[in-house]
Amino acid sequence: MKDLIMAIGDTKNWAFKKGYYHHSQPSTPDYYTFFQKGIIRPARSKALKIINGETDGVKEEAEAFLEQHGYYIDYLGKTQFTDNINMASGRAVEYYCDQVLIHGAMPNEAYREVLNLLLSLQTGSWLDQEKTKAQIEGRQKPRFGSDGKVLKKNETIGRGEFEIVCENAHAGLKEAMQGANEIIGQTELRGKLPGCQLDYLGYGDYQGGAVELKTQWDTGVDTDSPRSNSLPKDIKNPHLMQIAGYWHITGKIPRIVYANRLGYRVFEATIEQLEYALSDVIAACVRREKLMMVTENVEQLLKLCDPHFADSFVWRDVHPDVLRQAKKLAGVIK
């Protein structure tokens, strides 16, 4: 489909030829976004076609490339790249809530099912695999009481962080969707932003973008002294930017549920918050379009962007060879 669009001379070739087909929440640095869309994703797509026998190529090289990007197929048969314990845990909690709220599963039944998703987590081979194993075990370790706090000396039956967060997320979503005649799961949301030529694309968690779920996870979960990640007192800015885009597309005032092992909080964004965040989203998307319009290729495009190698979390778990490639394209190293 993408090739067809380009073949018929669509005026957005200034973006399409750089692997950029739509906007999404601009939560990562421009350099990282362009590097992923224009360099990494096309190469990943080709590697997958090679190992699936859909195109010619050296299978061993394709497999080695995919390994550098933490490729695996999870319990649900979905393709994952460069995964980590918190992302996998968050997806598993949403799966739990889907099973209970949408499909009518019993909580115990749903928990047993979604635990398989968490257990299927694979992190990049270059990362500490013993730590990953300890993190998965730590999420299930029965060291908390029913209130989510560390077991007291007189308590003998404990519960795991993962199980408690599943239940708290479920309770928070029920509150956020109270009175709904029907509960709808993840929905594709596509629309236009003012001043932008490309579509804006997102995926709302529930109720057509009206309710979002965010999970907060303990740090040090692989140790004997995990520390709770506190629930926020208001909507976090990156999440506000996300739901502001959905609000612009749907017109629905969004609510967001935060859940951790100590409880949950439900926030409803104000019009003022949404307008402020949306202006940031639009500014970022307009900037990206202008950068693409004035460059001929991805390599030129990257030269105009600050990669934020030192201060952005996005580079933290990247394979050393991939990070080296990104630094070469940025001109940081030769």
Q: What is the pLDDT of residue 10?
A: 58
Q: Give the integer Cα–Cα distance in Å for 49 and 57.
A: 9
* pLDDT class of 4 with cuts at 50, 70, 90: very low
* pLDDT class of 8 with cuts at 50, 70, 90: very low
- The per-residue pLDDT for range 231-255, each reduced to its tens digit, is 999 999 999 999 999 999 999 999 9
Q: What is the pLDDT of residue 9?
A: 43
**Residue extents of the structural domains in the chain:** 30-69+304-334, 70-303
Q: What is the pLDDT of residue 247?
A: 98
Q: Give the integer Cα–Cα distance in Å for 264 and 105.
A: 22
The overall average pLDDT reported for the chain is: 95
**E-assigned strand segments in 144-262:** 187-192, 199-204, 211-215, 255-260
pTM: 0.93
pLDDT above 50: residue 259: yes
- The per-residue pLDDT for range 142-170, each reduced to its tens digit, is 999 989 999 987 777 899 999 999 999 99
- The per-residue pLDDT for range 213-231, each reduced to its tens digit, is 999 999 999 999 999 999 9
Query: Among 3-7, 54-58, 128-132, 263-267, which is the least confidently predicted range?
Result: 3-7
- The two most distant CA atoms of the chain are separated, in Å, by 72
Q: How far is CA 333 from CA 285, 304, 313, 324, 325, in A?
A: 29, 16, 20, 8, 9
Contact 198, 291 (CB under 8 A): no
Contact 95, 166 (CB under 8 A): no
- The per-residue pLDDT for range 103-117, each reduced to its tens digit, is 999 999 999 999 999
Torsion of CA 114, 118, 122, 123, to 10 degrees: 140
Segment of 6-10, 11-15, 146-150, 284-288 carrying the highest mean pLDDT: 284-288
Contact 298, 39 (CB under 8 A): yes
Query: Among 145-149, 169-173, 194-198, which is the least confidently predicted range?
Result: 145-149
Burial grade of 240 (CB within 10 A; 0-12, 13-18, 19 or more): buried
State the CB neighbour count (10 A cutoff) for residue 308: 15
Mean pLDDT across 27-50: 97
Q: Give the integer Cα–Cα distance in Å for 129 and 135.
A: 10
The larger pLDDT score, comparing residue 189 to residue 5, is at 189
Mean pLDDT across 268-276: 98
